[in-house]
Amino acid sequence: MKIARVQRAGVGAAGALALVTNDAPSGFRVLAVNERRSDITAEALVTTADPDEPWQESASTYRLLAPLAYPCTMMEMEANSPQQCTERGHGVPSYPMLTLLPDNVINHPGGEVVTPSWSNRVSVTAQIAFVCARTVARPEDARPDAILGYTLLLAFADWTLVDRLSCPTERDRSMNEDYGRWFDGYKPIGPWLVTPDEMPEFSEVAIELAVGDRCVVTRGADMIFGPLEILHRVSAAFPFSAGDLVALGAMGTSVEVPIDALDTGLEVRARCDEIGELTCTLKRLGGLTQSGHPAGDPLRAGHRRGPGGANLTGPSHIATD
């Protein structure tokens, strides 16, 4: 079953819950829609069997939204494949490295990912993410029925800021790297959730990532921690809730985006046979200002020292170039 959040074209209403199929020439077809439910939770899906609920086949044109529950907590695994660990200079971790994502990063299938004008180094990985069907508060709760479905996620990371921030130690650099993942709209998610019964073993799953002319394939067999192991290990520390999204991290190499192509727009596409296809267009916002400083540059004005730093010696400003 493919579960989507959709929005009727031309109508500014909130999303609706829908069941879709991807056998249509246009990419997908809505089989049933429930305009009274926009929350993607197991509870909402149970209502599909309720004859009183207004599920109906619809001839309307819909646009796909990120298949997320609101509110939800979004998390992303880092260093979840040996190749990623090598690229990032990490050893292979002995525990799942789960980081939080602020929800401003959400973008929808087919959306535009707009980099700031000052971006000059951006990379992307294609990932599989899952949405929790229910609360997982203890390791023994981490059973297959805890997963509502799987989707794709294009994870852009902007290294421009990290490159330019002062990082006196590896520790500082490591913390700064998180900023690169928090940019507005840098995580297109979709196109829908595929329920676990339609997914093969992860070792058999592959994702093709196309960035302009470049194409790479990553495989689930290279993943260090699978979904249930993550839930099992981490739920000992804190509970996952229904609707939480966990991105499983890159299963292989990341792709550097050709920055020059951003001025005209660059199509980025992830495809997984079992899930579907997720696309977005990456483009750059604006250009340089007259002063030569990129508009909105986070380092342009330096950072005014607060009262606690007023009498300190040491660097008094941050270099802008």
Partner 1 sequence: MKLVTYTRRPGGDTWGVYRDGWVIDVRSWAAASVGDPVLPLPSTLIELLEDGPASLDRVRDIAEEASRSLRESGKPRFMHKEEDVVWRPPLPRARLISMRGNNPILLRLDGLPIPEHPTLTPRHPGRLIGHQEPITLRREDGEIAWGAEFVAVVGRVTRDVDVLQAKDAVAGYMATNDLSGSCFAQVIAPDLSRDNYNYRDEHFAGKFYGTWSMPQSVGPWLVTADEIDDPYHLTVAAYENGVPCDIVTTAAMLFTFEDLISFLSRFMTLRPGDLISSGALGYHVINGLGSYPSGSEFAIEIEHVGTLRNPIDDRRGVAVP
Q: Which residues bind partner 1 (CB under 8 A)?
A: 71, 73, 90, 94-100, 102-105, 116, 138, 158, 161, 165-166, 168-172, 174-176, 178-179, 182-184, 233-234, 236-239, 241, 295-299, 301, 303-309, 312, 314-315, 318
The residue (of 222 and 297) whose beta carbon lies closer to partner 1 is 297
Give the torsion sign (CA, 292, 294, 295, 301).
Answer: negative
**Exposed/middle/buried for residue 49 (C-beta within 10 Å: 0-12, 13-18, 19+):** exposed
In angstroms, give the least distance from the CB of 172 to partner 1. Answer: 7
The residue (of 11 and 175) whose beta carbon lies closer to partner 1 is 175
The residue (of 24 and 100) whose beta carbon lies closer to partner 1 is 100
The residue (of 116 and 249) whose beta carbon lies closer to partner 1 is 116
Q: Could you tell me which residues come within 8 angstroms of residue 198 by beta carbon, excluding any fewer than 6 positions away?
A: 1, 2, 274
Q: Could you tell me which residues come within 8 angstroms of residue 192 by beta carbon, excluding any fewer than 6 positions away?
A: 2, 3, 4, 20, 28, 64, 67, 149, 151, 275, 276
In angstroms, give the least distance from the CB of 54 to partner 1. Answer: 25
What b-and-e string marks burial along 259-276, b requiring 16 or more CB atoms within 10 Å of the CB?
A: bebbeeebebbbbbeebb
Length of the chain: 321
In angstroms, give the least distance from the CB of 95 to partner 1. Answer: 4
The residue (of 49 and 312) whose beta carbon lies closer to partner 1 is 312
The residue (of 102 and 144) whose beta carbon lies closer to partner 1 is 102
In angstroms, give the least distance from the CB of 79 to partner 1. Answer: 8
**Which tokens belong to 292?**
């030569």
CB 114 within 8 A of CB 253: no
In angstroms, give the least distance from the CB of 277 to partner 1. Answer: 28
In angstroms, give the least distance from the CB of 129 to partner 1. Answer: 18
